[in-house]
Amino acid sequence: MIRIKIGSNEWRELKDVSPDWINEQINLRRRDGVAVCVRVSIKEGSINMVLLTPGCPGIRGSGLSLSQREKQILGLWEKLHLNKESFTGGNLIAFLKQVPKLL
């Protein structure tokens, strides 16, 4: 299962998220000068990850070693610049479209 949370919104399952909603949430926060915090939770088989954009408070990394599939997911997150403050809604949408193929 893939879920997403933007800011203080409730967690939403991927099937309940639209590209328009993602862009609206990110753009509203940036317009208001608020840090954009996106959390993506991925739980599928042996994979149990929560990925955070830089605007999220909290601890980064668990210190645990990652499986090959988890490394691929994290690599995609980084490739799409979701580890940078300047990420866009398009970056997040692309990640959410591609990550199910890695599961």
Task: Please tell me the total count of domains within the chain.
Answer: 1
Which regions of the chain does DSSP assign to beta strands (E)? 2-6, 12-13, 38-44, 47-52
Residue 57 is predicted with a pLDDT of 87
Separation in Å, CA 5 to CA 28, 49, 66, 69: 15, 14, 23, 22
What's this model's pTM, rounded to 2 decimal places?
Answer: 0.93
Rounded Cα distance between 20 and 46, Å, is 31
Range of the domain at 30: 2-102
Q: In what order do the strands lie in the sheet with 38-44?
A: 12-13, 2-6, 38-44, 47-52
Strand duo 12-13 + 2-6: pairing: antiparallel
pLDDT, tens digit (0-9, with 9 covering 90-100), for 41-99:
999 999 999 999 999 987 666 657 889 999 999 999 999 999 999 999 999 999 999 99
